[in-house]
Amino acid sequence: MNPYSRFGLVSNTVSAAAILSVLAAVGPQFMTALEASTAASGGSMLTTIGGAVVVMVVFWIAMTEAIFPMLFRLNSVRKMILGKYYFEGTWLQSEKGEDHQRLSVIDIQPKGKSFIFSGYSLNEKLEIESNSLIEFSKLDWPFMTYKYRNSLSDGADGKRDGVGEIQFEMNRAAARRYNGFVQYIRSDARLRIEGAKLTSNREVKNLRTLQGRQKVFQKYWDLFFNASVHKIGIVQRAPAPVAMPAAPVIHESVSPVIRTPETDSVVIERRTSTVTSESKDAIVPRRRASDWATRQADRTQDKYDQPASKKTSQSVK
């Protein structure tokens, strides 16, 4: 049973009902007026009746070929006529095979008393691999068989023409799922397919943009294949190097020479201080009070030692 035959049935029934209603309403008066006019003028009644039939045929054609097709474009009217067989809309279809995973966007759009089935397929890197447009379809609910063509193939790879068969889920409400297979004519391998209808208007609108399409595909790729889709446009950057603390700088300060009267030897005292060069508030080492006292003692000792050294030199001479 093809549910789309309901459109022809509805248009023909309503058109016939409209004509019969007009005839029932004005038919008796029309025949009375026709008999009176033909008797008075002597014209042929057959010609007048023929003209009336032509008018009804034109009215019939206008109703079934112009008026009702315009009404059938409305989704509300199509839902009312098709009922639970209404499956038009946007679907996401997964394709699974040996070393083959792909996700397709399928659009089933109204076309008068029938529909248009088209879509495109993307791989896990969100690269478009094929486009498909149905050239022939046969709907025998809940099965639909079709032949499609891939417009991105030149035919040399054997992936230009293919056939498929799907089965819609059967329940009391409108179908939301289907499953089946697709197969290229020149290939023996079949791909298992599974489709889910998008019921969120936001997701349908997101498919029209690149960023929105990536979000929708990431969600449904995980649901269909239990895996994550590769993200595009995200560059993995190396982590910033961690600043290592600067090595401490050792400053050496040499104290003045200290002479001892017992040994007359030179004693050098070294002091070290650790200052971090990177620190803004570095601590400057200060001299202690004992350093200043030692330095003053050295100067006094030098005064006494200097004359003694001169005397020693004169005695040697």
pLDDT at residue 317, rounded to an integer: 42
**DSSP-assigned letters across all residues of 185-238:** TT----EEEEEEE---HHHHHHTTSHHHHHHHHHHHHHHHHSSPPPPSS-PPPP
Domain segments of the chain as ranges: 5-71, 85-225, 247-291
Which of 176-181's residues contact partners 24+ apart within 8 Å by CB, and which partners? 178/87, 178/91
Non-local (6+) Cβ contacts of 173 within 8 A are: 84
Bridge partners of 104? Answer: 93, 121
Q: What is the pLDDT of residue 140?
A: 92
**Bridge partners of 108?**
89, 117
Model pLDDT, residue 312: 44
pLDDT tens-digit profile, the chain (317 residues):
789 999 999 999 998 898 888 888 877 777 777 777 766 555 567 777 777 888 888 988 988 888 898 899 899 999 999 999 999 999 999 999 887 889 999 999 998 888 999 999 998 888 888 888 888 899 999 999 999 998 888 777 778 899 999 999 987 788 899 999 999 888 888 999 999 999 999 999 999 888 888 889 989 998 898 876 655 443 344 455 555 555 555 554 544 545 555 545 444 455 544 444 444 444 555 555 566 566 666 666 555 555 544 444 444 44
Amino acid 279: pLDDT: 43
In this structure, whether the domain defined by 85-225 belongs to CATH 2.40.128 is answered with: yes
CB 212 within 8 A of CB 224: no
CA distance 198 to 90: 6
* Predicted pLDDT of residue 120: 92
The overall pTM is greater than 0.85: no
pLDDT for the residue 49: 75
